[in-house]
Structure 1
């Protein structure tokens, strides 16, 4: 393959990758971000459930 052809193919691929990255960035920006308050609430619920669960007792040491 000639070097010019090889270079042209690389440039085309770079352009495709950049366009795909731009689309991904736009899609990520359009997504509704999960609110910190909601995430924190669920973490607190999980911690509370773990604390309320019956504790496992360690085996008796003889």
Structure 2
């Protein structure tokens, strides 16, 4: 196959894939997954746990 033809076919296929991906994104934009709130709560708890674990320790001054 000639290189120009191959490049043109590649460009056409890439454009088709981009349009298909855009259509898919638009169709999924309004739809929420069934476990959306559960996932948000889970990540909130993970974030909270990491904040508690990485809290700097308080060091009290000792009088010698």
Normalised by the length of structure 1, the TM-score is 0.52
TM superposition outliers: structure 1 runs of 4+ over 6 Å = none
- Give the aligned length: 37
Cα distance in 1 between the residues matched to 2:30 and 2:3: 41
Tell me, which stretches of 5 or more residues in structure 2 are unaligned? 40-64
Q: What does 1:1-62 correspond to in 2, within 5 Å?
A: 1-31=1-31, 33=32, 34=34, 36=37, 39=38
Q: Distance in 2 between matches of 1:30 and 1:21?
A: 15
Give me the TM-score of the superposition, normalised by structure 2: 0.50
Q: CA RMSD in A?
A: 1.8
Cα distance, 1:30 vs structure 2: 2.3
Structure 2 CA distance, aligned partners of 1:18 and 1:24? 10
